[in-house]
Structure formats: structure tokens, C-alpha cells
Amino acid sequence: MNIPTIIQLEDDGLLLEINNNKYIFPYKYLRLQCPCANCIEEMTGRKLLNVNSIPDDIFIVDYVTIGNYAYQFLWSNADLCSTTGIFTYELLEILAKNDKAVKKV
Ligand SMILES: [Zn+2]
């Protein structure tokens, strides 16, 4: 796991620098990846999140660093997940490397 060296809130998404590569995670895309118990049923992995409930123009207002392993994002729609959703550096790196929705810049 690599610790992001840059984190910035850009117009088109969250910018992270991971292992000397910069990536843009579009905000709505990132919101849909929330791994918290409101969004994904823990035992089965079934998706609980209603995709239609997420505004297209959602963005991140602010963030906090959790320990030395994760970020928690404050979403513009004052989403419940602002207090429950924890995005580990490991998850973000996996998304960056494997999902075309994450743009390398
Ligand atoms: Zn969530």
C-alpha cells in the first residue's frame, strides 16, 4: 500500500498522487464506491445504495485523514456516508489501477 503524497479537491474530482502517479477520481464515481454499511451489506456484499439518490453534481466539501490509512469525505449533499464512509488508501489505489473511470493525469 502506498500513502498518497498529494490530495487536492479539483473541479472535476478528487486528485490524488499515489506512487508518483496523479489520478482524478470523479466525485460521483467515488461516492458510488463508498464501502460503508449503509452502501454495502456487510455479510453478503450486496449493494444497498440507491444510485438515483446521488446527485450528478455531488462533490467533496472537505476531508479528514483517518490514522495513516484512510480518508473520510464530507459530501456536498450532507450525506450519511460523510460520517460512515471510510476510503482506505488501499481501496483508492486499487480503484486507480483497475478502474477506467479513474483518470490518470
Ligand atoms: Zn456509504
Q: How many CB atoms lie within 10 A of CB 94?
A: 14
**84 falls within a domain:** yes
Ligand 1: centre distance to CA 35 (Å)? 6
Q: How many CB atoms lie within 10 A of CB 9?
A: 14
Q: Are 60 and 76 in contact (CB under 8 A)?
A: yes
**In whole angstroms, what is the distance from residue 5 CA to residue 28 CA?**
23
Report the domain count for the chain: 1
Ligand 1: centre distance to CA 86 (Å)? 8
Instruction: Output the domain CATH number for residue 94.
Output: 3.30.2020.30
Q: Name the residue range of residue 77's domain.
A: 6-104
Report pTM.
0.94
Q: What is the DSSP letter of 90?
A: H
**66 falls within a domain:** yes
Ligand 1: centre distance to CA 3 (Å)? 22
**94 falls within a domain:** yes
**Ordered per-residue pLDDT tens for the chain, 105 residues:** 899 999 999 999 999 999 999 999 999 999 999 999 999 998 999 999 999 999 999 999 999 999 999 999 999 998 989 999 999 999 999 999 999 999 999
C-alpha cell at 90: 488501499
**In whole angstroms, what is the distance from residue 46 CA to residue 63 CA?**
26
**18 falls within a domain:** yes
**70 falls within a domain:** yes
